[in-house]
Structure 1
C-alpha cells in the first residue's frame, strides 16, 4: 500500500491509480442542498506533509460513509474522483482539488503504527485578533469556543428575500463574548443541532467563518464554513474544563 502512496500535493484531475494516507481533520454534519435537490457531507483530509484536500459525499453514499470516515482517524483512500475547483472561494484545503468519494471508493483504516498525529492541526485565532482580519476571513481561520446562549431566530430581507438567521453567543478564555450567526443554508443541519444541545454548553470548532463587522466584530457562516462539536482534542477538553470551573453560569 505504501509503495503506491502519493502526497496530496501530487493529486490532480489527470492522475490515476493513486492512494493517499490521510487523517480526517474536518467533518461536517449531513446537509441538504435544496438548490441541488440532494444531501451531501463535506470533509477535509490532511497528510503527513501538512497539505489538505477537501472531500464531498452525495446522496445515498452519505449515510454509509458517515459511519466509515471518523474524525481524527487515519485512512488509505483511493478510487475517488479528483475534481478541479475553479472558484477559490470554495477551496477548503491547500490544493485546488476536491475528492468526490462514494461507498465504492477504496477506504481502509491504517495500521495503528501509521496513524497521523492530530496534535496542533488547528491554528486557533484569538477573538482579540479578529478585528484585523479581512471581511471573508482566512482559509486557515479556526475558532474554538463555548456556546453560552442561543439568541432569538431572526429574519432579514435581502434582495427581496426573507433570510433566516440563528445567532449564538460564544465565549473563550479571553472572556470576550462573541456573536456567531448561522445563516439560512446552515439552519436545517448545524443550526438546529446546536440549538438542541446549546443548554449543554458545547465546545464548537468553527473552521473558516466569515468575519463580520456587525456588532463591532462578529462571526458568521459562509459557504466554506465547517462547524464541529465537542471535538476530541486536548485544547477543547481544556476549554471545557476552564468553563466548568467558572462561578455562576459555569459548572460550579
Structure 2
C-alpha cells in the first residue's frame, strides 16, 4: 500500500514513488495556451499543514482531468511527476511543481465537508508588481468585447475592504466570462473575493487588473469572511455614498497628496534619477558586452 503523507514537503524527487498526499484544492485555473500554442491548466494545492504547492496539467492529459477537481475539495493524490519550479515563481518553502498525468491517481476524500482554508494563504503580500487583495464586490459592470469579432473581453468590478477605498478591478478574458459572470449573478448576496497575483495600474488614477497568472476565489471558506461581511453591513451607508460619487475614479482620493516627509527637493530628485540611470547602464553593459 502507498504511504500516505500529511506534509507536501516530504515529497521530493528522491522520495519512494509509491506515495500519497491528502491535499485541498485552493486554485483551479482556466485552460490557457503557452507561447508554443500548447494548452495547459494550473492548480494550487494545500496540505493539512497549510503548505501550498503548484500543479500543472499539460494538453495531452487535460481531457482526463476535465471533471475531476472541485474548488476547495480534498483529494488523495498519488505519484505525480515532480518538476523543479522556476525560482522566480517559488511562493513558499516547497520548490517543486506536480505534473498530473493519466498515470496520476486522484481519489476524492470521503468527507465532502469543505474545511476552512488557513488564513495565511491570503495575507496581503506583494511580489514584484503583483499583489494579493481581499474585498467585498459592491458593483459589477457589464462585460464588453475589446474588438468586435475577437474573443478578448473585459469587465470592471468595484471592490472595497476595511480601508473604505473602492477600487476598480478589471477582469480580462476567462476571468470576465467565468468569475465576472458569477459575480454579476450573486451581487445582491454581497460576494467576497480573494484576488491573487493582481497587477496595480495607473488607469483611473489607480486601479487593479488581472494577469495571466492571476487567480480569483469567490466566497472562499475562510474565517475572515464573516468578519468582512459584518464590517460591510456596519458601513453600508458610507459605502453607498462612496459609490454614488464614483470615488473609485477620483484621483484625489485614490492618490492623496504626499506627506511632507516624502517630498524631495528637485535637485536631490535629479541626482537620484541620474544614479538610477547609471545603474541601469552598468547592468546593460555587464549583461550584454560589446
Tell me if both proteins adopt one fold, taking TM over 0.5 as the criterion. Answer: yes
Deviation digits for residues 23-52 of structure 1, max 9, x if unmatched? 4251225x24366575x6532123355532
Partner of 2:45: 45
Deviation digits for residues 138-163 of structure 1, max 9, x if unmatched? xxx43221111123446668xxx995
Structure 2 distance, partners of 1:135, 1:233, is 26
Question: 1:74-153 alignment to 2 at 5 Å?
Answer: 74-86=74-86, 88-89=88-89, 91=90, 94-102=93-101, 105-108=104-107, 118-125=117-124, 136-137=129-130, 141-153=131-143
Gaps of 5+ in 1: none
**Deviation at 1:232?**
1.6
Question: 1:1-252 alignment to 2 at 5 Å?
Answer: 3=3, 5=5, 7-9=7-9, 11-12=11-12, 15-19=15-19, 21-24=21-24, 26-28=26-28, 31-33=30-32, 36=37, 41-47=41-47, 50-57=50-57, 58-67=61-70, 70-71=71-72, 73-86=73-86, 88-89=88-89, 91=90, 94-102=93-101, 105-108=104-107, 118-125=117-124, 136-137=129-130, 141-153=131-143, 164-248=153-237
Bigger Rg, which one: 2
**SS of match in other structure, 1:236:** helix
Structure 2 distance, partners of 1:4, 1:200, is 40
* Segment drifting more, 3-12 vs 235-244: 3-12
**Deviation at 1:180?**
0.8
Q: Which has the higher contact order (CA 8 A, sep 6+)?
A: 1
* Conserved 8 A contact 2:25-2:69: no
Gaps of 5+ in 2: 241-290
* Structure with the bigger percentage of helix: 2
Taking structure 2 as the reference length, the TM-score comes to 0.62
The number of residues matched between the two structures is 230
Structure 1 distance, partners of 2:86, 2:118, is 31
Structural RMSD (CA)? 3.8
Taking structure 1 as the reference length, the TM-score comes to 0.70
